[in-house]
Chain A
Amino acid sequence: MKVTNELKKRKTPIVKIDKSLDKFDDKILFPEKLEKANEMLKKIGLPKQWTTK
């Protein structure tokens, strides 16, 4: 099945929109992870490889 094979090869997936998930968008679901990320950003900062070009 050509179409099926094409779908399997796609890197960007087909995503079904489910509005019941909207309620999670503005909720902090993983507070420890977010805190860890923010601490890392404060300590290390952004990578110079990407910010000095």
Chain B
Amino acid sequence: MKLPKYPLASSDRMMTFEFVSEGKKGLIHKLVKYQPTNLKGLYNLAFGDKAPETGEIDDKVISNNGDSEKVLATVVATVYAFTDKYPDAWVYATGSTKARTRLYRMGISKFFDEVSSDFEILGELNDDWETFKTDVEYEGFLVRRKL
């Protein structure tokens, strides 16, 4: 992607990624985790702030570090890295709050032109799946790499 993003570190198996957000509130360590769900091959994407001292993760905190676009671009970059490693994986994402899900939707919409050539994206709406449209408030998102 052409948008600026933070350098990424990952675990050996590329299930956990870390980056450091740099903004008006200083340095904030972020963790992105791909968690296996009950369905084989489908992973839940979750991310939140990591307290460097304790290693504890908070996925509800609103960092407000003034770099949300760069943070989202970096999270999208982890989806590229993860699906490069696991091309058959399906990734589900939803926010921990409605506001955060909305932020995800806005993020996907912003990057849609770039990512739609590499990914198929579905939106979760009223207990069903539909092809992602940029102007719909979805409850969750499911993506997979175009093969």
Contacts and interface: CB of A to CB of B under 8 A. Distances in A.
Contacts of B142: 47
A24 B42 CA distance: 18
B46 A22 contact: no
B46 A49 contact: no
Nearest to A32: B96
B18 to A, nearest CB: 6
Interface residues of B, number: 49
Contacts of A11: 1, 77, 80, 114, 118
A16 to B, nearest CB: 5
With a 10 A CB-CB cut-off, give which of A9, A15, A29 has the most chain B CB atoms.
A15
A28 B35 contact: yes
Interface string A15-53: 111110110110011101110111011111011111000
Given A13-B80, A47-B129, A36 B13 contact: no
A27 to B, nearest CB: 8
B124 A22 contact: no
Interface of A: 8-9, 11-19, 21-22, 24-25, 28-30, 32-34, 36-38, 40-44, 46-50
B8 interface: yes
B116 interface: no
A25 B124 contact: no
Nearest to A47: B129
A2 B142 CA distance: 35
Interface in B49-75: 57, 59, 74
Interface string B100-134: 00000000000000100010101010011101000
Contacts of A33: 35, 44, 46, 59, 94, 96
B7 interface: yes
